[in-house]
Amino acid sequence: MNKTILFAALLSTVLFTACSSKKEEKLEEGKYTITNPLMMDTSFTKDYVAEIQSLQNIEIRAKVKGFIESINVDEGQHVSAGQLLFTIRPKEYEAELIKAKANVKKAELELQNVKKLAEKNIVSPNELSLAVAKLDEAKADENLAELYVGYTKIKAPFEGTIDRLKFKMGSLIDEGTLLTTLSNNKSVYAYFNVSEAEYLDYKSRAKNKNNATLFLANNMPHKYKGQVETIEAEFDKNTGSIAFRAKFPNPELLLKHGETGKVQLTVDLKNVLVIPQKATFEIQDKFYVFVVDANNIVKTRSITIKQKLSNIYVIESGLSVNDKILLEGIQTVKDDDKIKTEFIAAEKAIAQINK
Protein backbone atom coordinates (compact mmCIF):
# COMPACT_ATOMS: atom_id res chain seq x y z
CA MET A 1 0.00 0.00 0.00
CA ASN A 2 2.86 2.39 0.93
CA LYS A 3 4.67 1.59 -2.34
CA THR A 4 1.57 2.50 -4.30
CA ILE A 5 1.29 5.87 -2.53
CA LEU A 6 5.00 6.55 -3.04
CA PHE A 7 4.75 5.78 -6.75
CA ALA A 8 1.73 8.09 -7.16
CA ALA A 9 3.58 10.91 -5.42
CA LEU A 10 6.63 10.49 -7.65
CA LEU A 11 4.45 10.43 -10.73
CA SER A 12 2.72 13.66 -9.66
CA THR A 13 6.09 15.32 -9.10
CA VAL A 14 7.33 14.33 -12.54
CA LEU A 15 4.13 15.54 -14.21
CA PHE A 16 4.24 18.85 -12.30
CA THR A 17 7.87 19.40 -13.26
CA ALA A 18 7.11 18.61 -16.87
CA CYS A 19 4.15 20.99 -16.92
CA SER A 20 6.21 23.73 -15.29
CA SER A 21 8.96 23.25 -17.84
CA LYS A 22 6.44 23.51 -20.64
CA LYS A 23 5.02 26.74 -19.15
CA GLU A 24 8.46 28.29 -18.81
CA GLU A 25 9.32 27.17 -22.31
CA LYS A 26 6.09 28.70 -23.63
CA LEU A 27 6.79 31.94 -21.75
CA GLU A 28 10.26 32.15 -23.16
CA GLU A 29 8.95 31.54 -26.64
CA GLY A 30 6.13 34.14 -26.28
CA LYS A 31 6.45 37.75 -27.37
CA TYR A 32 5.95 40.77 -25.14
CA THR A 33 4.11 43.81 -26.45
CA ILE A 34 6.11 47.02 -26.24
CA THR A 35 5.30 50.58 -27.24
CA ASN A 36 6.77 54.06 -27.07
CA PRO A 37 5.67 57.23 -25.20
CA LEU A 38 3.51 59.52 -27.31
CA MET A 39 3.81 63.29 -27.68
CA MET A 40 0.32 64.72 -28.07
CA ASP A 41 -2.17 67.44 -27.16
CA THR A 42 -4.72 66.50 -24.52
CA SER A 43 -6.65 68.01 -21.63
CA PHE A 44 -7.69 67.26 -18.08
CA THR A 45 -10.43 68.36 -15.71
CA LYS A 46 -10.27 69.37 -12.07
CA ASP A 47 -13.15 69.88 -9.64
CA TYR A 48 -13.32 72.71 -7.11
CA VAL A 49 -15.88 73.30 -4.38
CA ALA A 50 -17.74 76.50 -5.25
CA GLU A 51 -20.05 79.00 -3.59
CA ILE A 52 -22.74 80.48 -5.83
CA GLN A 53 -23.72 84.13 -5.55
CA SER A 54 -26.19 86.24 -7.47
CA LEU A 55 -25.05 88.81 -9.96
CA GLN A 56 -26.76 91.37 -7.69
CA ASN A 57 -27.96 90.66 -4.17
CA ILE A 58 -29.03 93.55 -1.95
CA GLU A 59 -30.93 94.21 1.26
CA ILE A 60 -34.15 96.17 0.98
CA ARG A 61 -34.35 98.43 4.06
CA ALA A 62 -36.78 101.09 5.21
CA LYS A 63 -35.52 104.66 4.98
CA VAL A 64 -38.23 106.09 7.23
CA LYS A 65 -39.98 105.06 10.43
CA GLY A 66 -43.66 104.10 10.34
CA PHE A 67 -46.30 101.39 9.92
CA ILE A 68 -46.21 99.08 6.89
CA GLU A 69 -49.38 100.06 5.06
CA SER A 70 -49.12 97.57 2.17
CA ILE A 71 -46.97 94.71 0.96
CA ASN A 72 -47.29 94.44 -2.82
CA VAL A 73 -45.18 91.33 -3.46
CA ASP A 74 -44.83 87.79 -2.17
CA GLU A 75 -41.83 85.71 -1.22
CA GLY A 76 -40.09 84.20 -4.24
CA GLN A 77 -41.87 86.55 -6.64
CA HIS A 78 -40.01 87.85 -9.68
CA VAL A 79 -40.29 91.64 -9.90
CA SER A 80 -39.40 94.27 -12.47
CA ALA A 81 -37.16 97.28 -11.98
CA GLY A 82 -39.21 100.12 -10.45
CA GLN A 83 -42.04 97.86 -9.25
CA LEU A 84 -43.66 98.90 -5.94
CA LEU A 85 -42.72 96.52 -3.11
CA PHE A 86 -43.85 98.16 0.16
CA THR A 87 -45.73 101.25 1.25
CA ILE A 88 -45.09 102.80 4.65
CA ARG A 89 -48.00 104.90 5.94
CA PRO A 90 -47.26 108.30 4.35
CA LYS A 91 -49.71 110.65 6.14
CA GLU A 92 -47.18 112.14 8.57
CA TYR A 93 -44.68 112.75 5.79
CA GLU A 94 -47.31 114.16 3.46
CA ALA A 95 -48.28 116.59 6.21
CA GLU A 96 -44.66 117.69 6.53
CA LEU A 97 -44.59 118.24 2.77
CA ILE A 98 -47.73 120.42 2.88
CA LYS A 99 -46.15 122.46 5.67
CA ALA A 100 -42.91 122.84 3.68
CA LYS A 101 -44.80 123.99 0.59
CA ALA A 102 -46.63 126.60 2.69
CA ASN A 103 -43.32 127.88 4.04
CA VAL A 104 -42.05 128.25 0.49
CA LYS A 105 -45.03 130.38 -0.46
CA LYS A 106 -44.58 132.46 2.66
CA ALA A 107 -40.87 132.99 1.89
CA GLU A 108 -41.72 133.97 -1.70
CA LEU A 109 -44.19 136.63 -0.52
CA GLU A 110 -41.71 137.99 1.97
CA LEU A 111 -39.07 138.20 -0.75
CA GLN A 112 -41.42 140.11 -3.04
CA ASN A 113 -42.14 142.66 -0.28
CA VAL A 114 -38.45 143.08 0.58
CA LYS A 115 -37.60 143.62 -3.09
CA LYS A 116 -40.13 146.45 -3.35
CA LEU A 117 -38.75 148.05 -0.21
CA ALA A 118 -35.19 147.59 -1.40
CA GLU A 119 -36.02 149.33 -4.69
CA LYS A 120 -37.17 152.36 -2.66
CA ASN A 121 -34.08 152.15 -0.44
CA ILE A 122 -36.29 151.57 2.59
CA VAL A 123 -34.40 148.35 3.57
CA SER A 124 -30.74 147.54 3.24
CA PRO A 125 -29.30 145.12 0.65
CA ASN A 126 -28.49 142.76 3.53
CA GLU A 127 -32.16 142.36 4.35
CA LEU A 128 -32.83 141.51 0.71
CA SER A 129 -30.09 138.87 0.79
CA LEU A 130 -31.57 137.47 4.00
CA ALA A 131 -35.00 137.14 2.37
CA VAL A 132 -33.44 135.29 -0.59
CA ALA A 133 -31.69 132.94 1.83
CA LYS A 134 -34.94 132.23 3.68
CA LEU A 135 -36.62 131.28 0.42
CA ASP A 136 -33.74 128.97 -0.50
CA GLU A 137 -33.98 127.34 2.94
CA ALA A 138 -37.74 126.85 2.56
CA LYS A 139 -37.27 125.23 -0.86
CA ALA A 140 -34.62 122.92 0.57
CA ASP A 141 -37.04 121.85 3.31
CA GLU A 142 -39.68 121.24 0.64
CA ASN A 143 -37.31 119.05 -1.36
CA LEU A 144 -36.40 117.09 1.76
CA ALA A 145 -40.08 116.58 2.64
CA GLU A 146 -40.76 115.35 -0.92
CA LEU A 147 -37.84 112.97 -0.54
CA TYR A 148 -39.27 111.50 2.67
CA VAL A 149 -42.68 111.07 1.04
CA GLY A 150 -40.91 109.19 -1.75
CA TYR A 151 -39.22 106.99 0.86
CA THR A 152 -42.65 105.74 1.96
CA LYS A 153 -42.94 103.93 -1.37
CA ILE A 154 -40.20 101.29 -1.60
CA LYS A 155 -39.54 100.14 -5.16
CA ALA A 156 -37.30 97.50 -6.72
CA PRO A 157 -34.01 99.05 -7.89
CA PHE A 158 -33.54 96.28 -10.47
CA GLU A 159 -35.25 93.19 -11.87
CA GLY A 160 -34.93 90.22 -9.54
CA THR A 161 -36.46 87.74 -7.10
CA ILE A 162 -37.84 88.64 -3.68
CA ASP A 163 -36.55 86.66 -0.70
CA ARG A 164 -38.33 86.09 2.62
CA LEU A 165 -40.50 88.93 3.94
CA LYS A 166 -39.34 89.89 7.44
CA PHE A 167 -42.52 91.73 8.56
CA LYS A 168 -46.26 91.61 8.01
CA MET A 169 -48.60 94.42 7.02
CA GLY A 170 -49.27 96.76 9.96
CA SER A 171 -45.87 96.22 11.59
CA LEU A 172 -44.18 99.29 13.07
CA ILE A 173 -40.64 99.57 11.72
CA ASP A 174 -37.73 101.90 12.34
CA GLU A 175 -35.52 103.64 9.84
CA GLY A 176 -32.99 101.10 8.51
CA THR A 177 -35.13 98.02 9.26
CA LEU A 178 -34.42 95.07 6.92
CA LEU A 179 -37.62 94.19 5.02
CA THR A 180 -36.34 91.57 2.54
CA THR A 181 -33.55 90.93 0.05
CA LEU A 182 -33.61 91.15 -3.73
CA SER A 183 -31.50 88.94 -6.01
CA ASN A 184 -30.76 89.26 -9.70
CA ASN A 185 -30.11 85.66 -10.78
CA LYS A 186 -30.12 86.06 -14.56
CA SER A 187 -26.46 85.18 -14.24
CA VAL A 188 -24.57 83.92 -11.20
CA TYR A 189 -21.02 83.96 -9.92
CA ALA A 190 -19.27 80.83 -8.67
CA TYR A 191 -16.34 81.48 -6.33
CA PHE A 192 -13.74 78.78 -5.74
CA ASN A 193 -10.16 78.52 -4.47
CA VAL A 194 -7.20 77.27 -6.50
CA SER A 195 -3.74 76.33 -5.26
CA GLU A 196 -0.68 78.29 -6.35
CA ALA A 197 0.64 75.50 -8.60
CA GLU A 198 -2.76 75.02 -10.25
CA TYR A 199 -3.10 78.77 -10.72
CA LEU A 200 0.24 78.92 -12.55
CA ASP A 201 -0.70 75.93 -14.71
CA TYR A 202 -4.03 77.53 -15.56
CA LYS A 203 -2.48 80.86 -16.54
CA SER A 204 0.13 79.21 -18.75
CA ARG A 205 -2.10 76.63 -20.43
CA ALA A 206 -5.73 77.67 -20.42
CA LYS A 207 -6.49 79.38 -23.74
CA ASN A 208 -10.25 78.98 -23.86
CA LYS A 209 -12.02 80.95 -21.13
CA ASN A 210 -15.40 79.28 -21.79
CA ASN A 211 -14.18 76.11 -20.17
CA ALA A 212 -15.97 75.95 -16.83
CA THR A 213 -18.71 73.45 -16.02
CA LEU A 214 -20.85 73.78 -12.90
CA PHE A 215 -22.07 70.64 -11.14
CA LEU A 216 -24.98 71.15 -8.74
CA ALA A 217 -25.61 69.51 -5.36
CA ASN A 218 -27.31 66.54 -7.07
CA ASN A 219 -24.16 66.03 -9.21
CA MET A 220 -26.03 67.08 -12.33
CA PRO A 221 -24.24 69.57 -14.60
CA HIS A 222 -25.67 73.03 -15.16
CA LYS A 223 -26.76 73.19 -18.80
CA TYR A 224 -24.82 76.40 -19.53
CA LYS A 225 -21.05 76.63 -19.72
CA GLY A 226 -19.32 79.40 -17.83
CA GLN A 227 -16.10 81.32 -18.01
CA VAL A 228 -13.50 82.39 -15.51
CA GLU A 229 -13.82 86.17 -15.45
CA THR A 230 -11.57 87.33 -12.66
CA ILE A 231 -8.88 86.11 -10.29
CA GLU A 232 -8.24 87.88 -7.00
CA ALA A 233 -5.09 89.94 -6.53
CA GLU A 234 -3.57 88.10 -3.55
CA PHE A 235 -3.02 84.56 -2.27
CA ASP A 236 -4.42 83.61 1.12
CA LYS A 237 -1.41 83.21 3.40
CA ASN A 238 -3.17 80.62 5.55
CA THR A 239 -4.33 78.29 2.75
CA GLY A 240 -1.87 79.13 -0.03
CA SER A 241 -4.76 79.45 -2.47
CA ILE A 242 -6.28 82.21 -4.56
CA ALA A 243 -9.95 82.82 -5.36
CA PHE A 244 -11.32 82.47 -8.90
CA ARG A 245 -14.69 83.83 -10.04
CA ALA A 246 -16.57 82.14 -12.88
CA LYS A 247 -19.78 83.53 -14.39
CA PHE A 248 -22.62 81.24 -15.53
CA PRO A 249 -25.79 82.18 -17.46
CA ASN A 250 -28.97 81.32 -15.54
CA PRO A 251 -31.93 82.30 -17.75
CA GLU A 252 -34.31 79.76 -16.15
CA LEU A 253 -33.38 81.10 -12.67
CA LEU A 254 -32.52 77.59 -11.51
CA LEU A 255 -29.50 78.72 -9.52
CA LYS A 256 -30.06 80.71 -6.34
CA HIS A 257 -27.86 82.90 -4.18
CA GLY A 258 -26.10 80.87 -1.48
CA GLU A 259 -26.11 77.50 -3.26
CA THR A 260 -23.03 75.30 -3.36
CA GLY A 261 -21.65 73.21 -6.18
CA LYS A 262 -18.49 72.13 -7.95
CA VAL A 263 -16.78 74.00 -10.74
CA GLN A 264 -14.99 71.74 -13.18
CA LEU A 265 -12.26 73.38 -15.21
CA THR A 266 -10.88 71.93 -18.43
CA VAL A 267 -7.21 72.76 -18.96
CA ASP A 268 -5.56 72.13 -22.32
CA LEU A 269 -2.16 70.45 -22.39
CA LYS A 270 0.02 71.06 -25.44
CA ASN A 271 2.82 68.74 -26.60
CA VAL A 272 2.95 66.56 -23.51
CA LEU A 273 4.40 63.04 -23.22
CA VAL A 274 1.86 60.34 -22.32
CA ILE A 275 1.95 56.59 -21.71
CA PRO A 276 -0.75 54.02 -20.89
CA GLN A 277 -1.30 53.59 -17.16
CA LYS A 278 -1.08 49.81 -17.46
CA ALA A 279 2.56 50.12 -18.57
CA THR A 280 3.50 51.38 -15.09
CA PHE A 281 3.82 49.84 -11.65
CA GLU A 282 4.09 51.45 -8.24
CA ILE A 283 6.46 50.76 -5.35
CA GLN A 284 6.21 52.85 -2.17
CA ASP A 285 4.40 55.73 -3.87
CA LYS A 286 6.91 55.88 -6.72
CA PHE A 287 6.13 54.96 -10.32
CA TYR A 288 8.25 52.78 -12.60
CA VAL A 289 8.23 51.31 -16.11
CA PHE A 290 10.25 48.57 -17.79
CA VAL A 291 12.36 50.07 -20.58
CA VAL A 292 13.46 47.67 -23.32
CA ASP A 293 16.81 48.48 -24.97
CA ALA A 294 18.03 47.73 -28.50
CA ASN A 295 19.07 44.22 -27.41
CA ASN A 296 15.66 43.53 -25.90
CA ILE A 297 17.05 43.65 -22.36
CA VAL A 298 14.56 44.81 -19.70
CA LYS A 299 15.56 47.57 -17.27
CA THR A 300 13.52 49.24 -14.52
CA ARG A 301 13.27 53.02 -14.74
CA SER A 302 11.75 55.52 -12.32
CA ILE A 303 9.38 58.11 -13.80
CA THR A 304 7.62 61.23 -12.50
CA ILE A 305 3.90 61.63 -13.18
CA LYS A 306 2.69 65.13 -14.02
CA GLN A 307 -1.01 64.40 -14.40
CA LYS A 308 -3.28 61.38 -14.21
CA LEU A 309 -5.86 61.22 -16.99
CA SER A 310 -8.31 58.56 -18.08
CA ASN A 311 -6.19 55.40 -18.65
CA ILE A 312 -3.04 57.41 -19.35
CA TYR A 313 -0.37 59.30 -17.43
CA VAL A 314 1.22 62.59 -18.46
CA ILE A 315 4.96 62.20 -17.87
CA GLU A 316 6.97 64.99 -16.29
CA SER A 317 10.38 63.27 -16.42
CA GLY A 318 12.07 59.89 -16.88
CA LEU A 319 11.10 59.06 -20.48
CA SER A 320 11.43 60.33 -24.03
CA VAL A 321 9.61 59.57 -27.28
CA ASN A 322 12.57 57.40 -28.36
CA ASP A 323 12.22 54.96 -25.45
CA LYS A 324 10.55 51.59 -25.77
CA ILE A 325 8.54 50.46 -22.77
CA LEU A 326 6.89 47.17 -21.85
CA LEU A 327 3.13 47.33 -22.31
CA GLU A 328 2.06 43.76 -21.48
CA GLY A 329 3.51 41.25 -19.03
CA ILE A 330 5.14 43.59 -16.53
CA GLN A 331 4.31 41.09 -13.75
CA THR A 332 6.32 38.31 -15.40
CA VAL A 333 9.69 39.99 -16.09
CA LYS A 334 12.52 41.38 -14.01
CA ASP A 335 15.64 43.45 -14.58
CA ASP A 336 18.13 42.13 -17.15
CA ASP A 337 15.67 39.64 -18.65
CA LYS A 338 16.01 39.26 -22.39
CA ILE A 339 12.65 39.01 -24.10
CA LYS A 340 11.12 38.65 -27.51
CA THR A 341 9.09 41.73 -28.40
CA GLU A 342 6.28 42.82 -30.63
CA PHE A 343 6.06 46.58 -31.15
CA ILE A 344 2.76 48.45 -31.26
CA ALA A 345 2.66 52.16 -32.07
CA ALA A 346 1.72 54.41 -29.17
CA GLU A 347 -1.26 55.89 -31.02
CA LYS A 348 -2.74 52.42 -31.51
CA ALA A 349 -1.98 51.33 -27.95
CA ILE A 350 -3.72 54.35 -26.43
CA ALA A 351 -6.64 54.07 -28.87
CA GLN A 352 -7.18 50.45 -27.81
CA ILE A 353 -7.25 51.15 -24.07
CA ASN A 354 -9.67 54.06 -24.57
CA LYS A 355 -12.23 51.92 -26.35
Q: Tell which CATH classification among 2.40.420.20, 2.40.50.140, 3.40.50.720, 3.40.1160.10 matches the domain 30-42+271-353.
A: 2.40.420.20
Name the band, by pLDDT with cuts 50, 70 and 90, for residue 199. confident
pLDDT in tens, 153-166: 999 999 999 999 99
- Arithmetic mean of pLDDT, 206-231: 86
- Arithmetic mean of pLDDT, 304-333: 91
- What does the alpha-carbon distance between residue 68 and residue 86 come to, in Å, rounded to a whole number? 7
All structural domains of the chain with their residue ranges: 30-42+271-353, 45-55+184-269, 63-86+157-176, 90-151
Is 239:232 a contact under the CB 8 Å cutoff?
Answer: no
- Judged on CB neighbours under 10 Å (0-12, 13-18, 19+), 182 is buried
Q: Tell which CATH classification among 2.40.50.140, 3.40.50.150, 3.40.50.300, 1.10.287.470 matches the domain 90-151.
A: 1.10.287.470
- Judged on CB neighbours under 10 Å (0-12, 13-18, 19+), 118 is middle
- What does the alpha-carbon distance between residue 339 and residue 105 come to, in Å, rounded to a whole number? 111
Q: Is 152 helix (H, G, I), strand (E, B) or coil?
A: coil
CA torsion sign for 227, 232, 233, 238 is negative
pLDDT in tens, 74-116: 999 999 999 999 999 999 999 999 999 999 999 999 999 988 8
Tell me the angle at which helices 91-119 and 125-151 cross, rounded to the nearest 10 degrees.
160
112 Cβ contact partners less than 8 Å away, ≥ 6 residues apart: none
Q: Is the per-residue pLDDT at 194 higher than 70?
A: yes
Other CB atoms within 10 Å distance of the CB of residue 109? 12
| CATH code, residues 45-55+184-269 | 2.40.30.170
pTM: predicted TM-score of the whole model, two decimal places: 0.69
pLDDT in tens, 294-318: 999 999 999 999 888 888 999 999 9
Instruction: End-to-end CA distance of the chain: give it in Å, rounded.
Output: 59
Q: Where are the alpha helices (DSSP H) in 33-189?
A: 91-119, 125-151
pLDDT of residue 148: 95
Q: Is the per-residue pLDDT at 7 higher than 80?
A: no
Q: Is the per-residue pLDDT at 1 higher than 50?
A: no
